[in-house]
Amino acid sequence: MAETRVQRPRRFLVCEPRHFTVQYAINPWMRPDAPVDVDLAQSQWQALIDAYRAHGHTVDAVDPVPGLPDMVFAANAAFVVGGRVFGSLFHAPERRPESLHYESWFRTAGYDVYRPLAVTEGEGDLVWTGRYVLAGTGFRTTPDAHREAQEFFGHPVITLTLVDPYFYHLDTALFVLDDDNIAYYPEAFSADSREVLRRLYPDAVLATRDDAMAFGLNSVSDGRHVFIAPQAEVLAERLATHGYDPVPVDLSELHKAGGGIKCCTQEIRS
């Protein structure tokens, strides 16, 4: 019998895709010549927000800004643990102005925001496990940022190297299920990083490449419910076998920019 999982209420920060489009290419998913249906993107995004609230989570929103089409991907703007905000310094010049708008929201909400010196893309590459930080590098966030985060938070940071350009952020290849376990796609990581993950999480839920390419690992878990792309069918079945409740939410229009559920979701941890 599958273990009974315990949900924990979460607080999320999001940004409506009012100005969403694909006007440049900074990852393999982006095709500026491909049409984007903004109305569909907004309705899919709203379905995610509705799902969060229906499951008891709190959702705050940053106002979208014209000319910043990727602001919808709120996870990349910061990393928050214990009420402390570690800001972002985007790799792509096109996205760097986003940081100031998110920083303004946090400061207005009463938070101090640390501005990193090294390139770092928030929860895209920094993942809180409850005990330490798993930190991705290889395409965006640099190892120097990992050191900055460790000094800022005072928690151990474990560096993981990404090797597949389709999984350019850690949150496209791995997500935390609860305080004890994760789900991930092994082939997204270097051999040494795979060994680290095997040792840390011997009972991890492993994803197929098809499910990873369907943004199945760009998911959000509250400890029991896993908000997941409906196209990641095998992964959803494996999660259910482990006692989690998959909640399918289709963000396929936002996939055109290389983002999914987690990319749209910044968690604010008090």
Residues with catalytic function: 169, 263
Closest CA to 139 of 92, 206, 88, 86: 92
Contact predicate 96/119, CB 8 Å: no
Closest CA to 37 of 266, 204, 250, 190: 250
- What are the contacts of 230-233 at 24+ separation with CB within 8 A? 232/207
Q: Are 20 and 229 in contact (CB under 8 A)?
A: no
Residue 88: helix, strand or coil by DSSP?
Answer: coil
d(CA 147, CA 155): 10
Report the 10 Å Cβ neighbour count for 234: 14
User: Which residues, other chains included, contact 197 with Cβ-Cβ below 8 Å and sequence gap of 6+?
Assistant: 160, 174, 182, 184, 186, 189, 204
CA distance 121 to 135: 10
Residues 6 or more apart in contact with residue 34 via CB below 8 angstroms: 22, 256
**Alpha carbons 36 and 57: distance in angstroms, whole number:** 29
